[in-house]
Amino acid sequence: PDDYELCDYTGQIGYEAFDLTTTEPQILGTIDPSLVNVTFHPTFVDAQNETATITGVTNYINQTQWSQTLFVRVEFIATGCYDIVELDLIVNPLPNATQPNYPQYTLCDYNGAIGFETFDLLSQVDPILLGQQGMSVTFYPSLAAAQAQVPGTSINETHPDLQYPNQIIYVQTLGVVITNTLTGCYSISTIDIRVVPLPTPIPPTAPYTICDENQDGFSSFDLATLTADILQGANYILTFYETLSDAELGNLVTAIDITQLYDNINPFTQILYVRAEDPLTGCWSVIPIVLNVNPSPIAPINLDDIVVCDTDNNNQSASTIVDLTVRTPDVLAQQPLAASNYTITYHTTLLRAQNDIPIIPATSYLATTNQTIWVRVEDNTTGCFNIGEFDIIVNIPLLLITPTPLSLCDDDANPNDQFHSFDLTIRDVMITQSLSGYTVTYYPSYALAQAGNPANAIATPTAYTNTSPAVQTLGVVVTSAAGCSSVTTLDIRVLPIPTPNTNPPSLGAKCDDNNPGDMMEVFDLTVNAAYILNGDPNLTLHYYHSQADALVPQNEIPLSTVTAALVGDVDPNEQSVWIRVENNRIDSFGNHCFVLVEQPLTVNPLPTVVQPLAPYRVCDNDTDGLAAFDLTNPILATAILGATQNPADFTITYYLTQAGANPLTNTGETPLPNNYTNTTPDSQNIYIRVVNNATGCVNATGVLTLAVEEYAQATGPQSFSSCDTYTNPYDGVFQLDLTQYETAILNGQDPLVFLISYYHTQADAEQGINAITLAEAQAYITQPDTDQIWVKVENSSNSITPFCYALTTIDIEIERYPNPIITTPNGVTTICVDFASGNVVRPLTLNSNIPNPADYTFEWYEGTTLIPGATGSTYTVDTASPTGATRSYTVRVISNSLLACETTSLGFDVIQSGPASISTGTAGYTVTNAFTNSQIITVTVEGWGTYEYSLDDGPRQTSNIFEGVSLGNHVIHVWDTEGGIAFSCEELMINDVQVIDYPHYFTPNGDGIHDTWNVVGLFNYADQTKIYIFDRYGKLLKQISSAGDGWDGTYNGQPLPSTDYWFTVDYPEQGGMKQFKAHFSLKR
């Protein structure tokens, strides 16, 4: 039978009274108690002999301290047969508990309602146990509750986290039960939990305030003066801090030293925190105190002096009435607050300002120049004040004279209308008597100037037009730098100007025949004098070469040469003489009033003929020296006129003689025909007449030589074509010797006379520029694919250069070799093949990357074997290799042109891979180290590929082993990596993967949660796994399947009680069978 155990509750120190009859049912088991006699004996011999039979078996006290072994004799009444079993009696000691109570557990009253706090009872467990092992501590709200131990009343049950708020204000006595977890024996004691009140420092009734003279918001505070009022006689330790956090932490490193003056760090207002700590309890509280720095008004600085003019009856005394309050806005402008917050007063001395003895009234104070006034500004709220100063300056106005009138000739856009725009500022210097520092303001009248309203002033005195015809009196105000003003007048006058005729008749145009090229001809300028004077005898005429000279006036043309003036070509083809017509009126600048009259003069230039001219040559295809010349050739006209003259503006004719070309000497000779054949073989001179179509001016000085020379021939075009065998066979560039065609091009002409040169363009060949050198021609590198070379054949026997020539071409065609480069979509190099069936689940298309595939023939090879029917620009690999080997593919590409250029590509390796496959009869993985915290999952898959693995959403790895796998369902992911992760064959997912373990409890109460118990992780091995469940006595209760629902906590349909149950599980691992034993709890 089991040991019979009792706790040492009676206080007999190891001795207790046992009711031995309670053991009989277990001892008898299934034996009917009426058939046997059960007796208890102190020794085995006594039991055999039926001696020393124990009486009082219902209240037997063990005879040895703490434990005793008895022997139980069970004898069948009918037969006398018996058996003897041992029965151990054990008295278990009680846990040690401090009596009558444990030291109290105190908290300061920091949180929640007054007198209540939340106590961490878990923190008291170790001090209560004092090192005892195998014990549990249970707290109750009172000693009585601990003694009663009614289920559901312990603090451990009502507050599982043992965070317990006291239920009785300030002090509550808790019951403490210490239980031996093996024997169930317990002891009871108590512990007081106590809430200690916090210190109550007295906050200052008002902020600690200091005035600040420099307005920066910073000052020094004597914090020690505050402590007495805060303590009010209490015995607290006070420390001051700048932050609430430091005050609450009681960080002495950051505490303020109040034996020194404290300088605030936040301007104007700063909150400090005072920590009051009770030295007996260690409890503390924090109060804020406010430091205020009231800024004094800003001392008025840099105040402008009050500068006034001496405007009283004696304006030279430098003394006058002044309104001092004009500085009030300036003083207030320097203050940070609204004007209503300040009082401003004015004082004659600094002492009077300090004592607040003001000038009354400040609005009409008789001040003398250079007198100092003191201004006081006071804050109406704080009473703080500051003082500034400024001076009084009394200035004297300037005495004025009347300036001479300002006269202008009426020569504006509306002449002789008696109105003109005046620059009045011309009189500034005269009015101010050349003194500096004065401002002159002009008004339309003297009355307006005396009124002095700036709105009536002339806004633009540099361009003022008089409002009264001919003459007007203006008002002038002169203001000093100090603002003092004087008034005078200024007359402005508008003088009439002459009224001549301003459009004289033309003197006629002339050609530049007199000394051609100087553009100087003789004109009689006096022809139009009477017309210009227009009958006015008071006018005089003066002649000038330019308008600028006439305006000054300067460089007048002397009257003695007026009738024989030579006029140069200043402006192209045309120039004017300017006539200044003056009357007898003189303006303020000493000039007569005048009008300018322009007399245009025209001298037309003769046409320009380029001399000497290059011979006009024609290449002749015979040898008679005669040829037809096109004299209307526009190139010839351009050569004669040069680049600056437009042939459309001139008429060009040609004559056999110089006299015939000149119209002054021509005696009837007619121009040569447009298509003229020379009459003198090889070379002949003809003469040129050029006429300006617009002016009729003629140039007949040109000579043109007509020349006839032998022609050349160029046979062609020549052609060349080839596959691109030069250097890079894919760029269409070739090297060839252009000179190989010279014999064919000359076609019998003497190569020493008829010279060949090569060019890239027709234009270069015709102009003879950018020729290809002989070395380049002999090893010419072509342009890609097609090229055309222009060949020029020149007759070097010609006497005139450039030589006569003929052109032809060499047409070149180079065919590039095809350049097959096998690629695949996205760069994939693998096909995916199912491992089990051998079927290709993802084929691979190979692309030759040949543009215009219709122009080529294709042959595809696997290794060296031609693939039948594979004649397209692409080929799809859709068959598997039985061995999974990598296969190499090439493509041969042949041009369909007559050249049949062909290329075979480099080999392209196709790798055979595929998705991972689970072998038949396996789960795809195995679990080892079952029922431990370091279980290992090994993935067991097969396939053509190389694989990476991950568990759940974990990182990918090349190893198929996962160690330290946690409990619960998992998913295994397997990826093929042959073609790269981005193009992996289909991913394999193994779901519902579990490590092997068991739940440590279950609750079959019908709520759908933990209603059954089973081993997890062996679902796939149900046919090899055996699971047995036993009670604590080893009785088999149930055999279950790892693939079933599990055990529901019943035996023969009856629910079993809450307790521990044992189990064994036989399961496969690494090719063998293992057994695991453990127990679990049934809870109801």
Express each pLDDT in 352-401 by its tens digit. Answer: 999 999 999 999 999 999 999 999 999 998 888 999 999 999 998 888 88
Give 416's DSSP letter. Answer: T
pLDDT computed for residue 1021 by the predictor: 85
Contacts of 60 (CB under 8 A, 6+ apart): 17, 18, 19, 20, 40, 54
Q: Residue 571 pLDDT more than 60?
A: no
- Is residue 426 predicted with pLDDT exceeding 70? yes
CB-CB neighbours of 184 under 10 Å: 10
The answer to whether residues 600 and 504 touch, using CB atoms and an 8 Å cutoff, is: no
Q: What is the rounded CA–CA span in Å between residue 529 and residue 577?
A: 13
Q: Are 448 and 462 in contact (CB under 8 A)?
A: no
Tens of pLDDT, residues 927-978: 998 888 888 999 999 999 999 999 998 999 999 999 988 888 899 999 999 8
pLDDT above 70: residue 1081: yes
The H or E element that residue 475 is part of is strand 471-480
Reference 224, options 258, 251, 248; nearest CA is: 258
Give 728-784 pLDDT, tens digit per residue.
999 999 999 999 999 999 999 999 999 999 999 999 999 999 999 999 999 999 999
Q: Average per-residue pLDDT in the chain? A: 92
Contact 330, 321 (CB under 8 A): no
- 485-495 and 406-409 as β-strands: parallel, antiparallel, unpaired? parallel
Confidence of residue 574 (pLDDT cuts 50, 70, 90): low
User: Are 636 and 702 within 8 A, CB to CB?
Assistant: no
Of 961, 857, 954, 847, which Cα lies nearest the Cα of 903? 857
Average pLDDT over residues 509-518: 84
Average pLDDT estimate for 302-313: 88
Average pLDDT over residues 290-315: 88
Q: 568 falls in which pLDDT band (50, 70, 90)?
A: very low
The predicted pLDDT at position 393 comes to: 93
Write down the pLDDT at residue 510: 85
**Cα–Cα distance, 173 to 187 (Å, whole number):** 16
pLDDT of residue 570: 43
Please answer whether residues 542 and 579 qualify as being in contact, where contact means their C-beta atoms are separated by less than 8 angstroms: yes
User: What confidence category does residue 525 fall into, taking pLDDT thresholds of 50, 70 and 90?
Assistant: confident
pLDDT of 564 strictly over 50: no
Average of pLDDT values for 972-1001?
89
The SS3 of residue 387 is: strand
CA dihedral sign, ordered 430, 431, 437, 439 = negative
pLDDT at 563: 46
Whether 153 has a pLDDT exceeding 60, the answer reads yes
The helix or strand, by DSSP H or E, that contains position 431, with its residue range, turns out to be: helix 428-431
pLDDT digits (tens, 9 = 90+) for 645-662: 999 999 999 999 999 999
d(CA 211, CA 292): 8
> 645: closest CA among 596, 593, 702, 685?
702
Query: Residue 560 — very low, low, confident or very high, per pLDDT cuts 50/70/90?
Result: low
CB-CB contact of 895 with 924 (8 Å)? no
- What's the angle, vertex CA 968, arms to CA 963 and CA 974, rounded to 5? 55
The structure tokens listed for 800 are: 């005139």
What pLDDT score was predicted for residue 164? 96
Q: What percent of the chain has pLDDT over 90?
A: 80
Q: For 155-164, which contacts have Cβ atoms below 8 Å and span 24 or more sequence positions?
A: 155/121, 159/121, 161/122, 162/120, 162/121, 162/122, 163/118, 163/119, 163/120, 163/121, 164/118, 164/119, 164/121, 164/139, 164/193
- What's the rounded Cα separation, in Å, for the pair 185 and 10? 12
pLDDT band for 469, please (50, 70, 90 cuts). Answer: very high
**pLDDT of amino acid 1032:** 87
- Average pLDDT over every residue of 76-94: 94
Listed in order, strand segments (DSSP E) in 572-642 are 574-586, 592-604, 616-620, 628-630
Instruction: Find the mean pLDDT for residues 704-714.
Output: 91
